[in-house]
Structure 1
Amino acid sequence: MGVLGSSAGAEQAEQSSGAPLLQAPLLQAPLVSEPCYGSGWSDALRCYRVPVTGPQAGQGAELAVLVAPALNGGQREPLYMLAGGPGQAASDLVRLLNPLRKINRERDVVFVDRRGAGLSDVFDCGISDSPPADLQHFSELIAQCYTRAAERPLTLHSRQTVEDLEQVRKALGHDKISLWGGSWGTRTALLYQQWYPDSLVSLVLDGVAPIESKVFLTAQEAESALRQLEQDCAEDPVCREFGDWRAALDQILATWDRARAVSFPDPFTGFPSQEPVEGWVLANAVRTALYDPGAAAQLPFAVDQAAQGNLMPLAGIVGLFAAMEGSMAMGLTFSVACAEEMQRISEDEIAADSAGTFLGNAFLQPFIHGCAKWPVPPRDYAPSEPRAHPVLLISGSADPITPPHYAEEALGYLENSQHLIVPGGGHINSARGCIPDLILEFLDGESAALDQRCVADIQRPPFMAAPFGPEFAPPQMPQVARDEAAQSAATWKGEQP
């Protein structure tokens, strides 16, 4: 599989046992904040540079921390927001303050960029903005990045992230905190719960990636999400006009050749892409669209157009994949993924997961090639122990990477959890429908058991019907209704029916 190196040394033994990794005291100098702003949020934030210590931290190591202060001074414990990836920056989540505004009334909301992400000395290898689609070229760039980075890849892992988070909590003077985690951030939150239970009040986990689950085996989950989309499309009067678009998609992926890879239009210019769009990129773009119900609603139209020779709508879908990849700090992503996820997956498991799916092993291809050039030792997690903190689990029924059954089947050690499943929901649903209000109610502890009936009212966005979007024309009235309407109009005009 390409993951090189082996476990060794006291640090690995401490990690497996769950013993604290850091013992050094925090610096006692008071923290000073500066006003700052985050993308997608208009109010001023407080920004800190928090010094952190630890093995191989280096002199002057510090984390960027953004705080949205509570409107009323903070009567409740703060909510820390943990980003996914691994490789996404928490500072990129500031826009979530909009749907979570009510939560910010009585509690600070804290965004900590983990080491190597965002504003915390980002480790992006210089390729995050536009990763090459040629896997050979990509792996060469990854190898060069690893060579230049010296020991840095060994310092970036989940144990270190959790220890840093605990240092930030102390530095900001917070007694206890609650955590919101999204995607890989849910795993970070669950590990924090294991290692620092006394620092925690509650958890909100959206797009749950349990500690023991091999979430990179995603092909079967992506296939299930696509089939849900296919079924919902067949029940929609506009979307079903596209016919068997799923068969057309399978045909496109099966016959993708070099000619179309070279001529595929750039999603931002419309001209042929400067770099060929390989088949694995196209399959991943489809998977990425399934993350967001709004993007997924465009897929049937885009595939139908591609089958007729118009590749521009499908190029827009590929642009979504490029944007998601560009948001990850590649050096951080590979340091964590190669050591903590890929080393747990066998070739037989990859083959079984890929069989009979539109995605195959396309998602894993960059990790298989990249981890061969990124030799970090495997890092295992200790078995999870029972925890009684209140936990709110949030899943989308059509999530292509962290499906609801992960939360249902792999988190039996959580003794006080409840689960919201958004029908037709993709990956991350905290901003949709009534979910923000339910999160607020959960965090405030107003009800031990949430009334979940409003979740069923959350629907998929309308399917794209034409180049300009969905069809908003009113549905055709039955003949009886049309006759009654005509009779009423005639009566109103003083005419005889």
Structure 2
Amino acid sequence: MKSSTLFKVLFYTAVATVLGACAEQEAEKKGLSLELSACTREPQAPPPVVNGAECGQLSVPLDYQQDDGETISLAIKRWPAISAAAEPDPVFIIAGGPGQSAIDVSDRLLPVFFNLRKKRDIVFVDQRGTGGSSPLHCELKQNLSLAQLSADSEAETLNELQACAQQHSQRAPFMLTAEAVTDLDEVRKALGYRQINVWGGSYGTRVALRYMAKYPHNLRAAVLDGLAPATMSVPYVIGAGANHALATVSDECLARHDCGSRYGNIERQAKEVGQRLLADPVTLSIPNPLTAEPETILLDAKKFAALVRMALYDRIMSRLLPFTIHAAAAGDYQPVAALVSQFLVDESQLNIAMGMHLSIMCNEDAGVTPLPEREDFLGVDLAATMLQACEFWPAAEVSDDYYTPVISDAPVLLLSGRADPVTPPKWGTQVAESLTNATHLVATGAHHGVTLQTCAGSVVTEFIRDLAVGERSVKCMDAIVPMPSFLHGVSND
């Protein structure tokens, strides 16, 4: 080929590439239909926080197969980058649950992502069916509230859930992960971003993975904390996860002479307490965490198992478990009562949209094949009520490829806590098998939610910035070791 001809070929190829990129940019600009304005509520987060949050709503189809049908609004909150020389790719935060509002937890998460915000926008989107995005709430007296810990019947809860299913029967089938993934990309286009980074926690990792599969060219990088892939059927593995975490905490206690000699095998003792409460529940008096008025609760095996499992989510609360379980084994349930009060306050802040939660559990998680055999936790089937509700919850179609492993060469950082009771490290290991550019870090002392632990926020910042895991990040994760258990009457200093 003559040099002049070669030059023309290269020239026109380059022109075509540039024009194609410009056309793509123009198409993106045409989708810029979202105007954000200053949020009305000031942040409640501790320093370092720089004000300037922007909020808005984006209208999207309820059913993407019917563009001219009913629409819903997605609530969006953006913390603009502080630097005038900001990077063009923001970080989208995807909450867990399923059913949790990303915006509700934005003030709490922002300090963790403060260094990221110096150069990048941080965007929180309430997933459809949650928070400010057409939420599917259920009116439940027993939804992890003080009433749940009374003698109210389980049948009443199922009746309330059935009423909720009827209330949301038309919308519930469209509140699934597939629609949420499309929503995310609509927000990306509406805000004018070419590519985004995503951080997903727990169920949010599933949304992030499906986004990675559907829109590979729109994703720059992902950080996935506590893996919950589509192949993980939460109702069927919830017991196994809790058993794993309790065994881990028990082994850690036995490995420390001060804890092991004082409390012994707390896993065995917890099972003994559960069996005792199955046969003979006890009545406790606790102060209502909101009114301080005394309340009477009936502590049975179900409630005890739920309390222990909730404590296992948290690295700090797990320090109390050896003392609490050992006391209960000796017949002293006051430490358990103290846990009740603590978790009632914590649960009131989660604001889980139970209707959306059940839409995911009953249609996506229940569709995993083959389904694993369910394990009891402390003698209790933790998912029994949920699976009963699934019998009448509105059905939805889930595509066959939803359960296939996500294959990607995008830079991905996977984070797991060794003592996580719901998303243990094995799920991260499984997901990593089909991600050719992934790094999986396991913190031996972390439970659920590694990013919030000590220096882990800097690990996320470094990865999004450099698209690699450096030595400093590895040292940080290695430093997140099990905390010493609380020793009653002994200083832990």
- Aligning the two structures, in what range does the TM-score lie when normalised by the shorter sequence? 0.7 to 0.9
Which residue of 2 is the match for residue 34 of structure 1? 38
Relative distance call for 1:306 and 1:129 in structure 2 (3 A) is: closer
Match of 2:252 among 232, 237, 260: 232
Match of residue 294, structure 2, among 271, 284, 300: 271
Corresponding residue of 2:305: 283
Structure 1 Cα separation of the partners of residues 95 and 343 of structure 2: 18
CA distance in structure 2 between the aligned counterparts of 1:72 and 1:458, rounded to whole angstroms: 31
Amino acid of the structure 1 residue aligned with 2:74: L
Say which of 443, 456, 462 aligns to 1:441.
462
Paired AA for residue 110 in structure 2: L
Deviation at 1:319, TM superposition (A): 4.3
Residues 64-85 of structure 1: CA distance to partner in whole angstroms, max 9, x if unpaired?
A: 1111111104224100000111
Aligned twin of 1:350:
373
Q: Equivalences for 1:74-89 in 2 at 5 Å?
A: 74-89=86-101
Aligned partner of 2:81 among 70, 89, 92? 70
- The match for 2:136 is 123
- Mapped pair 1:368 → 2:387: yes
Native 8 Å contact 2:173 2:394 kept in 1: no
Aligned letter for 1:32?
L
Q: Note the aligned Cα RMSD (angstroms).
A: 2.7
Say if 1:238 and 1:471, in contact at 8 Å, map to a contact too.
Answer: no
Aligned to 1:454: 476
Does the 8 A contact of 2:32 with 2:192 survive in 1?
no
1:323-373 CA distance string (max 9 Å, x none)? 448531111111111100123377x8334x33xx536422x1231122123
Does 1:336 pair with 2:357?
Answer: no
Work out the CA distance in 1 between the residues paired with 2:334 and 2:399: 44
Q: Contact between 1:422 and 1:456, CA under 8 Å: does it hold in 2? A: yes
Report the CA distance between 1:194 and its aligned residue: 0.5
| Identity rate, percent | 27
**Residue type of the alignment partner of 1:291:** Y
Mind listing any 5+ residue stretches in structure 2 that lack a counterpart? 1-28
Q: Which of structures 1 and 2 has the larger relative contact order (alpha carbons within 8 angstroms, sep 6+)?
A: 1
Q: Any conservation in 1 of the 2:286–2:338 contact (CA below 8 Å)?
A: no
- Rate the CA distance shift 1:219–1:400 in 2: closer, same or farther, 3 A: same
Asked whether the 8 Å contact 1:39–1:92 carries over to 2, the reply is: no
Equivalent of 1:393 in 402, 414, 432: 414
- Separation in 2 of the partners of 1:247 and 1:261? 20
Residues 88-487 of structure 1: pairs in structure 2 closer than 5 A = 88-94=100-106, 95-127=108-140, 128=143, 130=145, 132=148, 134-216=153-235, 217-240=237-260, 241-257=262-278, 260-263=281-284, 265=286, 268=289, 269=292, 271-273=294-296, 276-319=298-341, 322=344, 323-324=346-347, 327-344=351-368, 349-351=372-374, 353-354=375-376, 357-358=377-378, 360-362=380-382, 364-377=383-396, 379-382=398-401, 383-445=404-466, 447=468, 450-451=471-472, 452-466=474-488, 471-472=491-492
Deviation at 1:313, TM superposition (A): 1.6
Contact 1:265 1:311 in 2 (8 A): no
Name the stretch that deviates more: 85-94 or 128-137. Answer: 128-137
Match for residue 47 of structure 1? 55
- Give the alignment partner of residue 61 of structure 1, picking from 49, 69, 72: 72
Count, aligned residues: 441
CA distance in 2, matches of 1:344, 1:138: 26
Greater mean alpha carbon deviation, residues 252-261 or residues 151-160: 252-261
Partner secondary structure for residue 35 of structure 2: coil
Does the CA-based 8 Å contact 2:445-2:481 persist in structure 1?
yes
